[in-house]
Amino acid sequence: MTTIKSALLSVYNKAGLEPIVQALADKGITMYSTGGTEAFIRKMGYEVLPVEGLTDYPSILGGRVKTLHPKVFGGILNRRNEESDIAELATYDIPSIDLVVVDLYPFEETLAAGGTESELIEKIDIGGISLIRAAAKNFRDVLIVPSSSQYAALLDILQHGGAQSSLEQRKEMAAAAFEISSHYDAAIYSYFSKESEGQALKISESRSRALRYGENPHQQGRYYGDLEAIFDKLHGKELSYNNLLDVDAAVHIMEEFVDEAPTFAILKHNNACGLATRELLSDAYTAALAGDPVSAFGGILIANREIDPQTAEAINELFCEVVIAPDFAEKALQILQSKKNRILLRKKAAQLPKQQVRTALNGYLWQEADSKTDTEADLSYPCDRKPDAREQQDLLFASKIAKYTKSNTIVLAKNLQLLASGTGQTSRVDALEQAIAKAQKFGFDLDGAVMASDAFFPFPDCVEIAHKAGIRAVIQPGGSIKDQLSIDYCNENGLAMVITGTRHFKH
């Protein structure tokens, strides 16, 4: 155990500091400080020694240099069991410092608030980060409190631990200190490198939660991130690893329809098994469920409108894991809360990440998120027949779904309703045949339906199979050296085809 006899305090966030200062004073612990923290302590009426008195140097360069001095860092870094260190402290009249309390300048908060570059530069902490690293390095003798989030732990040591810390406590705080300093530096690096090509990959996320397990019960799992920034959890059990993957897929696909008429989607294993747009949300749900009422069991449901009581009554007849919406009417919420484990999430207007990272072999793959949505302005019309207004609307609707469906995929749609999709197949023909069989299984008439493909057709076989099933219009990215074969088939058989010029693979 090490007894705290002296402390250096240099914090930006003074909230919660008052009881710390009071406890230090009550224990007779010598306090050193500078700048705003020193003024805060004096205002409380307690004695505090200015760092300038220790160093014989004033704060200079507009406060940029205050604590960077051998008498400060010698007091922190000296090894209490090294005779040579003890002798040098005596020679240079350096007092030992047993506790360092720091809270860094708010760089990330200033960035999030849209601060100018000059404001951001001044929020890059130099002295504070150096104090953190020095104290954490010497954890065998020094206790580091690296942010205001650790004030409670320090207060417990001061009030209930006799101002004594164990080696285990100091090492735990040192780990927290290096986590905070590395996260801080990663945020600064990310800002400076945002326009660089091929920069190093730095990912730092301090917030995390343990999951019941990973993808399977024998795998451990954690979520790193701030779910509360995206959702208000209104009801139900904790989200699982697989829930989170499905919720991510659901949120992304519904982003494509956020400004559309009432739209409802049902997802299973990251793919939409039902999706429809209607004038009423309850009708959109009914049409989405009709797309695949079997796969909907245990699925993830998401809407682009507030869930009303009528829609809630219909949803309540289905076993589902999660329901997501911008809001829930009070009566609808009461209805859906009747199932104790059903997770209800109110989605906030949060921006989704613009980049994606995943592990691959012994490294990582990075890419920009696929933010391209196919619109009417992107389309070219290589065939003799152009799609009519209804077909064109359905084509763009189907293209949005295909963008978020596992490749290889084919999506069949009609009247703004997903009829069926072929998902994750090793050939495009297999995906199409799967979609046709599924649509027919659930009683859909494919006559006049449209087909969307996430990638080009290398041969005309897909348009031929689709035509024979009743498909009358096709949307695809094009780009095959044999595009003309598919175009010729469409012309010979009266099909319309539009080309987007953008592939949407999803693996």
Burial class (CB in 10 A: 0-12, 13-18, 19+), 373: middle
- On the question of a cis peptide bond just before residue 408, with omega within 30 degrees of 0, the verdict is yes
pTM summary value = 0.84
What does the DSSP assignment read for 429-451? HHHHHHHHHHHHHTT---TT-EE
pLDDT digits (tens, 9 = 90+) for 81-135: 889 988 988 998 899 999 999 999 999 999 989 999 899 999 999 989 999 999 9
Is 504 a residue of the active site? no
The CA–CA distances, whole Å, from 132 to 104, 129, 251, 399 equal: 9, 5, 39, 52
How far from 453 is each of 276, 294, 410, 435, CA to CA, in Å? 18, 24, 5, 11
Q: Which of 288, 284, 248 is nearest to 506 (CA)?
A: 248
Strand partners, 417: 276
Single out the catalytic residue among 202, 235, 252, 269. Answer: 269
What are the pLDDT digits (tens) for 409-425? 999 999 999 999 999 99
* Banded pLDDT at 71 (limits 50, 70, 90): confident
**Region class of 75: left (phi > 0), else alpha (psi between -120 and 50), else beta:** alpha
Query: Has 386 been annotated as catalytic?
Result: no
The residue annotated as part of the active site, out of 5, 14, 27, 137, is 137
- In contact, 96 and 75? CB cutoff 8 Å: yes
pLDDT value at residue 197: 64
Label residue 145 by pLDDT band (50, 70, 90). Answer: very high
